[in-house]
Amino acid sequence: MIHFENVSKFYPTKQGRHYVFRNIDLDLPTDRNIAILGPNGVGKSTLIRMIGGTDMPNEGRIRSLKNISWPLGLQGGLQGSMTARENVKFIARIHGYKNTRPIEKRVQEFAEVGKYFDEPVKSYSSGMRSRVTFGLTMAFDFDFDVLLIDELGAVGDANFRKKSEELLLSKYETTKLIMVNHNIRELKKFCQTGLVIKDQQLHFFDDINDAVELYQATYVKNNVK
Amino acid sequence: MTTQSNNTNAAKRPPKRSHWQIMCDVIFALIIRELKTRFGANRLGYFWALAEPMAQAAVMALIFSLLGRSSLSGVPVALFMLVAILPFKLFSKLLPQLSAAIESNKGLLGYRQVTASDPIISRLIIEVITFLIVYLLLMSTMAWLGYNVIPDDLLELLGVSALTIIMATGLGLMLCAATTWWKDTGKIVSMVMQPMFFISGIMFCATMIPQQYWYLLSWNPLFHVTELSRDAYFSAYQTPVGSFEYLGIWAIASFTFGLMTFQVNRQRFITT
């Protein structure tokens, strides 16, 4: 379970506080995959970052006894001035691995970025970045109970997508996903439950179809009009 | 070549760690990362890190020796310069390094294991160790050249160095927070540090200045650092200006204020 206890989050703007979430009390299950739905700017990435411990709520707190990954996405996670190998070593070290070589090897094999593995990450294309980011989770043997994925699959080519999909599905039993993606079809493939962000609140649905319905009722129609 | 089964064994999940162990792991990882990016470009990297302050100190010492002054207050001029240049270098290296510590490790703060204070601590460790190595190397070279390099009051010398480090850390923490509000803070720091080299008593000492002008320099804590260092190193030199109380107040005040601003702004390090 991931417990939200009276969580509020705002960003200071020139027009005062912009609340993204207000007084959220919620228990999210961690035994099923959750899709997060909402249009751009509604707070999906903020939510993922807060669950991942990269960002802090302004009020309240988020607790969990589960082992939750850092947010896997295109933003952050990898330091641009370091090579992929150095990034991998760093991450392995902060997770307490003394011998980083096997992890390096496995990320390298999975990412298939060739000699760019030893070039600074800032010289990568976004597809290459996502390959390395994804390779990282795979190399850690998925010792996470929950994997946070923030629109990671969107940039990969067909071959890589297939590979990462297979990987995710094969780990289904032990590792659950919390996923942000704008492709509803993709979300339905992985997730059984859904979370819609609406009016600074989180609405959780046991069935993803209900979540998609609410999402389309609130956001899609309005946008079309 | 390792086999597949070997691979999986070696990457097995490490046991649960205490907070302290996590912090040590993170700082170790950050130190390696810093050394790599700073010196990794060529294999002589760390050599240059040591050679640069050594060369600077040696050149200054040489110039003054060639000017015909072989001794100041009964101390060989080269040694007299070195003892002041080294702590000044320590300070002027620490300040920009610490104030940029968070900015240049931003991407890594995304991992929950890494807290804002970790890059500061790692850079502090790197700079202090480099300082010690440079100090020892230079003094061994001087000893080899025939100078008497044993400090007369080692404890006092260590005390001055410690206060210098504390003061630099405090100011560094403040500048770190300032950088999140205003990106160009670093430029101002380097602008301010330039003239400091000339007014911090590196090329002169208090006894060379008429007493009525001391007040022009004695506000500067770095002047106290160099004065006290010499006072500690050479019993022949008695500083009339350098005061442990003054330097100590600077160190404690800036460290306290630095920790405060750092703590107040810690959210900004992650989110902005």
The interface predicted TM-score (ipTM) is 0.77
Report the percent of chain A where pLDDT is more than 90: 0
CA A57, CA A44: separation in Å to the nearest integer?
A: 14
Q: Residue A197 CB: number of other CB atoms within 10 A? A: 23
Interface test with A, best of B13, B20, B115, B264 (most A CBs within 10 A): B13
Condensed to tens digits (0 to 9), the pLDDT of residues A107-139 reads 888 888 888 888 888 888 888 888 888 888 777
The nearest alpha carbon in chain B to A86 belongs to B33
Tell me what pLDDT residue B272 has: 56
Instruction: Give the length of chain B.
Output: 272
Cα B58 from chain centroid (whole Å): 19
Condensed to tens digits (0 to 9), the pLDDT of residues B180-237 reads 888 888 888 889 888 888 888 888 888 888 888 888 888 999 999 999 999 999 888 8
Report the percent of chain B where pLDDT is more than 90: 33
> Has residue B6 got a pLDDT over 60?
no
The more confident residue out of A103 and B122 is B122
Tell me what pLDDT residue B167 has: 96
CA A128, CA A110: separation in Å to the nearest integer?
A: 11
The more confident residue out of B174 and A198 is B174
Distance from CA of A63 to the nearest CA of B (A): 14
Of residues A203, A103, A186, A120, the one with CA closest to residue A149: A186
Tell me what pLDDT residue B43 has: 65
User: Helix, strand, or coil here: B3?
Assistant: coil
Two structure tokens written together for A154: 């969107």
Q: What does pTM read for this prediction?
A: 0.83
User: Helix, strand, or coil here: A24?
Assistant: strand
**Which residues of chain A register pLDDT less than 70?**
74-76, 140-142, 152-156, 172, 221-225
Burial B182-194 (b: 16+ CB within 10 A, else e): eeebbeebeeebe
Contact A179, A18 (CB under 8 A): no
Contact A211, A38 (CB under 8 A): no
Distance from CA of A184 to the nearest CA of B (A): 27
Tell me what pLDDT residue B70 has: 65
Which residue's entry shows tokens 């790197």? B126
Q: Is B19 on the interface with A (CB under 8 A)?
A: no
Q: Is B187 on the interface with A (CB under 8 A)?
A: no
Longest dimension (CA), chain B: 79
Interface test with A, best of B1, B108, B181 (most A CBs within 10 A): B108
Q: At what angle do helices B45-66 and B117-144 cross, to 10 degrees?
A: 50
User: Helix, strand, or coil here: A20?
Assistant: strand
In chain A, helix, strand, coil percent, each to 5?
40, 25, 30
The verdict on a CB contact (< 8 Å) between B25 and A96 is: yes
Condensed to tens digits (0 to 9), the pLDDT of residues B8-31 reads 444 566 777 888 999 999 999 999
Distance from CA of B41 to the nearest CA of A (A): 12
**Torsions phi, psi for B182 (to 5 deg):** -140, 115
The whole-number average pLDDT for the span B125-142 is 89
Interface test with B, best of A72, A93, A94, A174 (most B CBs within 10 A): A94
DSSP sequence for A95-145: TT-S--HHHHHHHHHHH--GGGGGSBGGGS-HHHHHHHHHHHHHHTTT--S
Q: Give the gyration radius of chain A's Cα atoms.
A: 18
Tell me what pLDDT residue B223 has: 93
Two structure tokens written together for A159: 């071959």
Tell me what pLDDT residue B1 has: 34
Contact A94, B21 (CB under 8 A): no
Distance from CA of A189 to the nearest CA of B (A): 28
Beta strand residue intervals within chain A, DSSP E: 2-13, 16-28, 34-37, 59-64, 72-73, 146-150, 176-180, 193-198, 201-205
